[in-house]
């Protein structure tokens, strides 16, 4: 399985390493045509507004086409990019997931923290860094993990988004879950 990691900015290398540990072939995606050869894509954390600037209209269009067709996993800024509605401030999204996210929603004091949440009903460590909050989950969106009352890992069809950073914990369950999505999509 060939998994691309969008490598324009931000936290892409930790994803690449995790995917390789799990036996996938990870390729860094810097140009739109590199999307043509991969079975799935990870959009890492970083700064979502910067991603949009670097992608430009053309890149956003190509990415939109890709996420409609193939499994995509966005973490933090990546989750913001995949959303249909973005607040604080309002920002364009790829509309792949019917959710509303609020950027930098946890305020200054707890803007970065490690907390325990639940993934498929099992406890799991979650690293939050200037995380967005998922404020609305549309019909057809499944909550896979939560922290307190908040949904923090959601899925709609082949699109997966986390407001935390599973690539920064030793636990590989979330990436394995994504690889399973990609595998199922290939069948
Ligand atoms: N605060 C960033 C944003 O709004 C996301 C932070 C992250 O990816 N760790 O895009």
CA of 184 to the centre of ligand 1 (A): 29
| Adjacent-strand bridge partners of 146 | 118, 151
76 catalytically annotated? yes
Say yes or no to pLDDT of 141 above 90: yes
CA of 52 to the centre of ligand 1 (A): 12
Say yes or no to pLDDT of 186 above 80: no
CA of 40 to the centre of ligand 1 (A): 22
Starting from the edge strand earliest in sequence, which strands make up the sheet with 2-6, in order? Answer: 25-29, 2-6, 40-43, 72-75, 159-162, 150-156, 142-147, 112-119, 122-129
Say yes or no to pLDDT of 56 above 70: yes
Mean model confidence pLDDT for the chain: 95
165 catalytically annotated? yes
Instruction: Give pLDDT tens digits for 76-86.
Output: 999 999 999 99
| CATH class, range 2-186 | alpha beta
* Residue closest by Cα to atom 5 of ligand 1: 77
57 catalytically annotated? no
pLDDT at 107: 75
Instruction: Give pLDDT tens digits for 57-94.
Output: 999 999 999 999 999 999 999 999 999 999 999 999 89
CA of 151 to the centre of ligand 1 (A): 17
Say yes or no to pLDDT of 109 above 70: no
Structure tokens at 69: 């067709």
Residue reference for tokens 């900015």: 9
pLDDT at 44: 98
* Under 8 Å between Cβ of 22 and 40: no
Cα 180 from chain centroid (whole Å): 15
Q: Which atom of ligand 1 is nearest to the CA of 75?
A: 8
CB-based pocket (< 6 A), ligand 1:
45-48, 76-77, 80, 103-104, 129-130
Q: How far apart are CA 101 and CA 84, in angstroms?
A: 9
Say yes or no to pLDDT of 111 above 90: no
């Amino acid at each position: 399985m060939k998994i691309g990691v969008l490598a324009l900015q931000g936290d892409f290398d930790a994803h690449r390493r995790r995917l390789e540990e799990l036996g996938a072939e990870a390729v860094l995606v810097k140009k739109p045509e590199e999307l043509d050869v991969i079975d799935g894509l990870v959009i890492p954390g970083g700064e979502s507004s910067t991603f949009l600037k670097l992608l430009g209209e053309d890149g956003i269009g190509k990415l939109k086409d890709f996420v409609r067709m193939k499994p995509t996993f966005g973490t933090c800024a990546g989750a913001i990019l995949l959303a249909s509605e973005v607040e604080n401030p309002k920002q364009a999204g790829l509309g792949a997931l019917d959710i509303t996210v609020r950027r930098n929603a946890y305020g200054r004091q707890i803007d970065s923290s490690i907390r325990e949440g639940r993934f498929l009903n099992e406890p799991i460590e979650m690293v939050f860094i200037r995380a967005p909050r998922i404020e609305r989950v549309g019909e057809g969106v499944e909550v896979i993990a939560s922290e307190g009352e908040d949904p923090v890992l959601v899925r709609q069809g082949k699109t997966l988004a986390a407001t935390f950073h599973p690539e920064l914990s030793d636990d590989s369950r979330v990436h394995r879950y994504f690889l399973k999505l990609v595998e199922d999509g290939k069948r």
